[in-house]
Amino acid sequence: MKIASFNINGIKARLPALLDWLSEAQPDVAVLQEIKSVDEAFPREPIEDLGYIVETHGQKSFNGVAILSKLPLEDIQRGLPGDETDEQARWIEATVVGKQAIRICGLYLPNGNPVPGPKYDYKLAWMDRQIAHAKNMLRQDMPFLMAGDYNIIPQPEDCANPAAWADDALYRLESRTKFRELCALGLTDAFRARNAAPEQYTFWDYQAGAYNRNDGIRIDHFLLSPQAADLLTDCQVDAHVRGREKPSDHVPIWVELDI
């Protein structure tokens, strides 16, 4: 089973690029971030025409996540548990039913800039909720994964120029420590587990020719539960997509699971 994650930075602007990539990459499941659309305005039909079930959790203008699946979905949940007052659409999860069931969480973790400030506080509190939710899921038997735009640069080798990010919310020690807490629960960073090649990134700023200089950062991640990690056979980044017409500033990352 091939499962992908792609921050598309706006479905209205990215539909042609998304359809092109889906057609060639043929993921069984894809989680999307930053759809920047309400559910009613999301262009379901052209995606359904490629054979996908479409489930969205959108909001006006900002954020918004979705799951696309060629396999049946069950028990779809919208929103990260732990704060009923949180209105930002950053989490969706569902059970994908193949030969073996797996729970797939799609997430758009808060950016957190500027630091310090309320946005950074929200990011760290959101990560505490994610950690609590991961603990709960680890008590269940079903394999699961949490995939998406984490807005976290885990290590210095995950960016071209660490000095440029030193005081950024994506790289600050508190952010990276929370990510490490998640991993320490027993979750596996699929890219680090299966892909040793250096200088591979998932995001390049639109400004200053960042992609042409490979001045990127690795912030889109797959964290796998122990049962899911046992099924992991590959993890790759579709970096070439960034060089196309009207690209997102992120590129797809995907895993192959032996189920």
Residues 230-259 that bind DNA (CB under 7 A): 246
Tokens 């400030």 correspond to 117
Nearer to DNA, 13 or 142 (CB): 13
Reference 50, options 77, 13, 16; nearest CA is 16
Task: Give catalytic status of residue 149 as yes or no.
Answer: yes
Nearer to DNA, 42 or 191 (CB): 42
Tokens 């559910």 correspond to 39
> What is the pattern of x (binds DNA, CB under 7 A) and - over residues 61-100?
xxx-------------------------------------
CB of 68 to DNA, least distance (A): 17
Residues 134-173 that bind DNA (CB under 7 A): 151
Task: Give catalytic status of residue 221 as yes or no.
Answer: no
What letter would DSSP give residue 250?
Answer: B
Q: Which two tokens stand for residue 21?
A: 């990539």
DSSP letters, 65-76, are EEEEESS-EEEE
Rounded to 10 degrees, what is the CA torsion of 144, 134, 65, 259?
-10
Q: Which two tokens stand for residue 151?
A: 């807005």
Stretch that binds DNA, among 95-103, 107-115, 129-137, 229-237 (CB under 7 A): 107-115
The annotation status of 49 as a binding-site residue, yes or no, is no
Amino acid symbol at 11: I
Residues lying near DNA in the complex (CB under 7 A) are found at 9-14, 36-37, 60-63, 110-111, 113, 119, 151, 206-208, 246
Q: Which residues are annotated as a binding site for Mg(2+)?
A: 7, 34, 149, 151, 249-250
